Structure 1
């Protein structure tokens, strides 16, 4: 068992390093682009884009009927299923796009901004590219060839940034985002198609199709519900509070999505194929979970602390004081960020790797049942801050316990994970107390507050979370034999 875990761990580790590198570079560049666009585009345009983004995030999660996940998880040879998987993915994606083209006006009206219709139709066009490249992307993931995926994404983003900034400077508003992302999808898709080296073959095997869909459709439904959960707040906030407040909300949501975007996306590239291989042996999977959870929590908690305690100086420094309404939202979305990493980017992938795709549906249905009322009540009584509180409460009080329950029912014991969470928990408490006590000490100088207060908090976090032997090595002290 240990040898298998180590072997898959090495492959997944290499893939994770490439995924992290690609995501860090892309997200850093995306962050720089957002700083430029925030000064070229009005908050109302951000609100229009948020509506189109909500639609796109949903269709991107269900675009292939779960064919990518089914192909990654497939226990046999890729050439057995590639022709059938290609046909299924293409038919589903093109049909879905047709539905959203027709329904774009209704969706935009529901979200409180009829002028978003054209942006919705344009931005959702990215799934037509995915219709062609789905099996190729899955093939690269199966091989842990995240280096090729990372390079494809970087090339696509370079085109996106150049086009979006140019259009924004020319006054294209929300269409700047949409055209940039469509161009990125085309460039990335072309590189993936070539680098995957999967022979072009069209065919249809009814038995293979049935097996793919039995796994893929529940998976797609689960991921689709996940997208609804993460983007329903855009629709609710837009409908209740209008596109200006939605623009502030979107900015905060984007900041809170940095870690899921960088670490979470990288983890998902390797966690699904990695856990799928480990799932062939229950003991190996349990060991993989025991190692993965504390590591993920240790990476996420310090970032969440900075967002929650230093939201106002963070927003003021990055985007300017005119975006300060986003800070009150960001504090609460930091809580959501932590739960998202544990549920969407870890628990869901574990369940999917075990073939328990229906469990992901129950998870997201239970989450949605709590989230939608929480969002509406929060938005009505507390504005965008209230909506964020509702989002965080539903995640922490409903989604997280549901994850624990569903994993337990599938035989994944979480008790062995708990000792690994003690240090991160104590580190969070110590660093958070320090940062709260000194928040506002450098009011009027957001950069100084971030550097001094945030830096001190991170030093305290590291001092508590790292084992003594590692601290002695870092400080140059000799480790006792």
Structure 2
């Protein structure tokens, strides 16, 4: 029987996903700064470059087939088994190719020192793709709570082993062990909770039929991946592993709020929006509500990091990373500018606008890569991050226009409603940054500067949101009342 998707089921699954990502946030909030103090920028950079290649090949290897399974009307086991074996065969070929040509790929990326890591981490490709089918089954059934539990377990185990090995002096191997342990534990957990057991059934015609959808999704996903990962490749090639390490450490920390909110919400919204494809009023209401809520939650975190980047970098990462505080601040700013776009990609995927999403993703990837490369070559790491902020501001307007056209909503009205919480977060961050520059010397302890700045920012943002988002809070209160009124 098909899974019933309604406001209650979506809310429950988002809550589970947020819980999972919040626990991961807590771990990374502690482990990333500790690892950064123990490891060198070059070690961070080497692993980051190798992981970028592995993730890219894993994305190609999956070919979007698991995403195609999610939106199928029925769970046809012959199709599911066929996708499993197709994924496994492609991923093994990818891993073999990466192992054989590791030296050439590492040299091309300007990180020849990382070739041995590429060979070792090639094994991650089949391990990562091996769980795609099991995850797709959980997503179809809206059983994100089970995935959340194993995500928490795998991330916790990986973080603990990484800290122990780093403190014991294992260096870069601490990061490698973290990746492998987390991947293996999550893979085992996905198969346990999905109760999926592969059988040797391979029907090429079923895979080909799914590929009509999956290739479009794969194209847009690859373009989005290039958008997010091309700065690492550009920086490694033109500025060296030390700057790549600084970018990686700052990006890991600045991405934590995104991983908490966006990763949790986007995974649930894709199958949810797909059920509303023919109901414009319902999907429009869901789009606006989910976008406003995620922006209210995420924007103050990102702009708050920008406001407090200088003392935060010194307190969390130590003096050896102090030079990179502008990178942390600009990365947070660039991500903050995209907070209203948090639900746009799952929305376009869910309502069948894969072609539009693909071409916009391609355009974004090209512009982002070119802008970051221009900044890195003509200026340096900070200039590259400034250009990334400029591009993301343009992307915000472009994606908003595409989505509101698809939703048949007036652009200016929709854009203002979605961006209003972000504007309030900008005002809050500007005030906190100004206060820090004017009166920071009165609080010589940098940890105390971070605490006081966060507290002041929280109060300012809370007051601004209460004044501007009363209608949103009214909707949320009404949803809670309706949910309590409905019997289980």
- Above 0.5 in TM-score? yes
Q: Which runs of structure 2 are paired with 1:347-386 in the superposition (5 Å)?
A: 347-386=344-383
Does residue 1:456 correspond to 2:453, yes or no? Answer: no
Cα separation, partners in 2 of 1:355 and 1:93, compared to 1, 3 Å: farther
Deviation at 1:15, TM superposition (A): 0.8
Deviation at 1:161, TM superposition (A): 2.1
> Per-residue CA shift, 1:92-150, capped at 9, x if unaligned?
22222223223322221122221111212323422212332211101111222111111
Cα separation, partners in 2 of 1:349 and 1:7, compared to 1, 3 Å: closer
Cα separation, partners in 2 of 1:215 and 1:384, compared to 1, 3 Å: same
> Per-residue CA shift, 1:23-74, capped at 9, x if unaligned?
1112211221222212221111111112112213323433311122111122
Cα separation, partners in 2 of 1:434 and 1:428, compared to 1, 3 Å: same
Distance in 1 (alpha carbons) for counterparts of 2:339 and 2:416 = 19
Cα separation, partners in 2 of 1:198 and 1:110, compared to 1, 3 Å: same
Residues 273, 347 of structure 2: 8 Å contact kept: yes
Cα separation, partners in 2 of 1:401 and 1:327, compared to 1, 3 Å: same
Q: Which runs of structure 2 are paired with 1:388-403 in the superposition (5 Å)?
A: 388-397=385-394, 399-403=395-399
SS across alignment from 2:275: helix
Q: 2:294 maps to which residue?
A: 296
Distance in 1 (alpha carbons) for counterparts of 2:85 and 2:62 = 10
Distance in 2 (alpha carbons) for counterparts of 1:256 and 1:469 = 30
Q: 2:436 maps to which residue?
A: 439
SS across alignment from 1:202: coil
Deviation at 1:306, TM superposition (A): 1.1
> Which runs of 5 or more residues in structure 1 are unaligned?
1-5, 473-481
Residues 82, 135 of structure 1: 8 Å contact kept: yes
Q: 1:76 maps to which residue?
A: 74
Cα separation, partners in 2 of 1:340 and 1:142, compared to 1, 3 Å: farther
Distance in 2 (alpha carbons) for counterparts of 1:471 and 1:18 = 22
SS across alignment from 1:31: helix
Deviation at 1:342, TM superposition (A): 4.2
Distance in 1 (alpha carbons) for counterparts of 2:278 and 2:16 = 25
SS across alignment from 1:200: coil
Distance in 2 (alpha carbons) for counterparts of 1:227 and 1:124 = 18
TM-score (norm 2): 0.89
- Aligned residues, how many? 465
Cα separation, partners in 2 of 1:379 and 1:294, compared to 1, 3 Å: same
Deviation at 1:355, TM superposition (A): 2.8
Distance in 1 (alpha carbons) for counterparts of 2:247 and 2:165 = 23
Q: 2:403 maps to which residue?
A: 407
Distance in 2 (alpha carbons) for counterparts of 1:255 and 1:220 = 27
> Which runs of 5 or more residues in structure 2 are unaligned?
475-488
Residues 404, 414 of structure 2: 8 Å contact kept: no
Mean Cα deviation higher: 76-85 or 315-324 = 76-85
Residues 423, 464 of structure 1: 8 Å contact kept: no
Distance in 1 (alpha carbons) for counterparts of 2:160 and 2:425 = 39
Deviation at 1:408, TM superposition (A): 4.5
Cα separation, partners in 2 of 1:425 and 1:306, compared to 1, 3 Å: closer
Distance in 1 (alpha carbons) for counterparts of 2:191 and 2:79 = 17
Mean Cα deviation higher: 158-167 or 222-231 = 158-167
Deviation at 1:418, TM superposition (A): 4.3
Distance in 1 (alpha carbons) for counterparts of 2:101 and 2:398 = 33
Q: 1:338 maps to which residue?
A: 336
Distance in 2 (alpha carbons) for counterparts of 1:469 and 1:361 = 34
Distance in 2 (alpha carbons) for counterparts of 1:234 and 1:406 = 28
Q: 2:484 maps to which residue?
A: none
CA RMSD in angstroms, aligned pairs only = 2.4
